[in-house]
Amino acid sequence: MLAEKSSRLASGNMWEALVTIWKQRGLQGLFSGVLPRVVSLSVGGFIFLGAYEQAKYLIYYVYDGSSHNLARTELPTTTSGS
């Protein structure tokens, strides 16, 4: 909800803004936009966690699972089934 510059809500008083929203739109007005925000954060969290796990696996695989042994190991090459 955007307030015009000359309105009472634009003064920066959060309590007045909450009371006005409550009077105009009720409980639904106070929580409008919550569902899209929660879905967005959830999807972002899943993507971040998946990328983190894959990067962690790759680092452990490339460096032979030891944080102290940084001698790079070669990735195995796939061979054809001949």
The answer for residues whose C-beta is within 8 angstroms of residue 61's C-beta and 6 or more apart is: 75
pLDDT of 58 reads 87
pLDDT of 52 reads 93
pLDDT of 6 reads 73
d(CA 17, CA 4): 12
pLDDT in tens, 28-82: 998 999 999 999 999 999 999 999 999 988 888 887 755 555 555 566 666 665 5
- CB pairs under 8 A, 24+ apart, for 3-8? none
Contact 12, 21 (CB under 8 A): no
pLDDT of 9 reads 64
pLDDT of 61 reads 81
**pTM exceeds cut of 0.75:** no
